Chain A
Amino acid sequence: MIRESKDILNWIVEQGVRWQPSLGGTLSLGRTNSFFLGGGRAMLNALYLTAERLGVEVAYDAEVIDLVIEDGMFLAARVKRPINGETEIRATSLVAAAGGFEANIEWLKEHWGDAADNFLIRGTPYNRGSILKMLLERGVQEVGDPTQCHAVAIDARAPKFDGGIITRHDSVVFGIVVNKHAQRFYDEGEDIWPKRYAIWGRLVAAQPDQIAYIIFDSTVVTSFMPTLFPPIAGRTVTELAGKLTLDPAALEKTIAEFNAAVRPGKFDHTILDDCRTEGITPPKTHWARRIETPPYLAYPVRPGITFTYLGTRVNKEARMLMKGGKPSANMFAAGEIMAGNVLGKGYAAGIGMTIGSVFGRIAGREAAKHARN
């Protein structure tokens, strides 16, 4: 994947997609990450236009409700459309790129229990994993752990689905994070933020009621990107606790203990600086500064699921493997629906897009090769 992914950057530009020249402001991300100009929708618009120019017919607003598969061989898909109703589309190859099952709360609950009721889904409500399920039921081999997913801490006030990128919070390293008992539970300053961005979803998911609060004071508000939802403010810690429905005494105590543990140092959020705590568990190992300048501020956060890793097993041609290991004659998969082949646990920035584009290109190539023969 790494090999093809270098090439993909140029290939995707040839398909009409543009990269953002530079991104200011996004905390520490600009230097390490590339962004699409205009975002993911701009990228998709450009790709669809290129596809149409090449003569590809696209059926929008069309839901696949069933797949006809015989012996590992795809024959046809049943499709439901608002205008045309139900039709069957026959084809010589299938490329499944229908996402994970993150929007299917019932399925998430099978593995997470009731905690999944408190998850927010960052992307489309359509990624219910229906095609993944059809494929697994029709004999495709599964890969990946169903509880593994990419999840970040997002604003608890975000909509249940599709809040997108704008509900994220980058402020963890500038304050402390407490659970509903006003207790800290993890080192907020473990590593530079982009490296730790994607662990906080699971951390919050493991807390009671799957809720947590990032708490900071007025000195740091301009250190991170402006947020969609304003921080909740209190002139005193007690007032803030009241607004968050936390136990005021417990929050006072947590902040006081934290403040007392902060050692002097030279703050620099771009490096692993020497501002740390001593004598508390968990420690805050970098960027620890006292929270003492009112107003006191907080963001409530919940686990925001980006995508799930459970998927269809594929080989390096992106060809699906059937139970027993036999490669399918004409079925390929790309993107989230096969992310489990690449991601076991954890995440590296940009890998979602890379899996989609690299395996998408391979799958397309192989599917076309099959169709021509």
Chain B
Amino acid sequence: MHGTRILDEADRLMTVCNSCRYCEGLCAVFPAMEMRRAFSDGDLNYLANLCHACGACYVDCQFSPPHEFNVNVPKTLAVARAESYAAYAWPRALSGTFARNGLVISVIAALSMAAFILGFAALNDRGVLFGVHTGPGAFYRLMPHNAMAALFGAAFLYAILALVMSVRAFWRDIGEPIGGRADGGSIFQAIRDAGELRYLHGGGVGCYNEDDRPTDRRKLYHHLTFYGFLLCFAATSVATLYHYLLGREAPYPLWDLPVLLGTLGGIGMIAGPVGLFVAKKQRAPELLDEQRYGMDVGFIAMLFLTGATGMALLILRETAAMGPLLALHLGAVFALFITMPYGKFVHGIYRFVALVRYAQERRGEAGS
């Protein structure tokens, strides 16, 4: 007996699969399962976060409904995965944010954007807010750079702290000692596996989403989103270095590195989430964790909003719309940061940690 009903069901399915093993070659979940004969809560949460929701083991399973064994691994692990996010959330008091996550995220996003608009309006007169500003330092006429850096730095640090604390709880629960460090080789392996989404591949033919044909393109959309996000992050980092090391202030010319990175990233962060959203709408109901629809879509929307306001700001930065757009963009980014530990963003973190663990287990097996 486990802590929750979904873990009981996951345990039942892993027992079925462990005596079947037909899906062994499809992904990392089944080989990891085979290293065990019984499953603790932590084991199941580990397996749930190893799963990439490719759908192959549902389409291939001879025991999927209407069979009386009623095996649906992707959906069960999706629900278990989402519940694990709440279970490991730090501080505990905020784990409730996962319950109606779509609502929580949209309220925070709306409040954040409104706060920036109102703040800008209160601190600047209309002439400045709707003025045309160009040249270095234009943005900082609306919000001083130091204030911006302090606010976002604080939000970012908080997100990191909360994520680290959550991952600690996860790491301990899946049976790894705190302080026992992962070896470099396993981390490198996990970076490669996550970077190419090695296990979002349906065992080789491709993933399943709307039906039993491996025609899914979530991997492409995810690469757009993920690398778009990384590029935007890189753009901001380069800009910060420019500011403090070279004394060069934003906005930068179009050919300059932060803008190039940001533009490429922004395109990815618009196109990727749109693709993922369409894929989500098409997903077969038997694979979908309906309860978490809000969380998933909330996250997709946040990324889209961040990308879209950023691109709009770039295009319209020399017009009177710059002020309000800057407020909207900063509001979106701020909301993205502070909600990171309390939304779907954590999927990447837990999956990565699970992949590290898996790489370690594989090395351990090969060694023994």
Contact = CB atoms under 8 A, between A and B. Distances in A.
Interface of A: 16, 18, 20-21, 23-26, 35-42, 45-46, 49, 159, 162, 164-166, 168, 222, 225-228
B238 interface: no
Nearest to A230: B15
A153 to B, nearest CB: 15
Contacts of B26: 37-38
B205 A18 contact: yes
B99 interface: no
Nearest to B212: A45
Contact of B22 (A21, A38, A45, A168): A38
Contact of B62 (A21, A35, A41): A41
A227 B19 CA distance: 5
Contact of B57 (A23, A38, A46, A49): A38
Give the dominant DSSP class at A's interface: loop
Contact of B24 (A16, A23, A222): A23
A36 B204 CA distance: 13
B104 interface: no
A42 B203 CA distance: 11
Contacts of B59: 41-42, 45
A41 B34 contact: no
B204 A18 contact: yes
Interface string B314-350: 0000000000000000000000000000000000000
Contacts of B205: 16, 18, 46
Contacts of A222: 37
Interface of B: 15-16, 18-26, 31, 34, 37, 56-57, 59-63, 67-69, 203-205, 212-213
A37 B214 CA distance: 15
Contact of A41 (B19, B25, B60, B213): B60
A77 B47 CA distance: 49
A18 B26 CA distance: 11
B20 A24 contact: no
7 A-B pairs with the lowest CB-CB distances in the bound complex, closest first: A39-B22, A38-B60, A42-B60, A166-B19, A228-B19, A166-B20, A226-B18
Nearest to A49: B213
A23 to B, nearest CB: 6
A24 B22 contact: no
Contacts of A228: 15-16, 19
Nearest to A16: B205
B213 A25 contact: no
Q: Which of A38, A40, A41, A226 has the most CB of B within 10 A?
A: A38
A141 to B, nearest CB: 33
A162 B31 contact: no
Contact of B21 (A16, A21, A25): A25
Contacts of B63: 164, 166
Contacts of B25: 18, 20-21, 37-38
Contacts of A49: 213
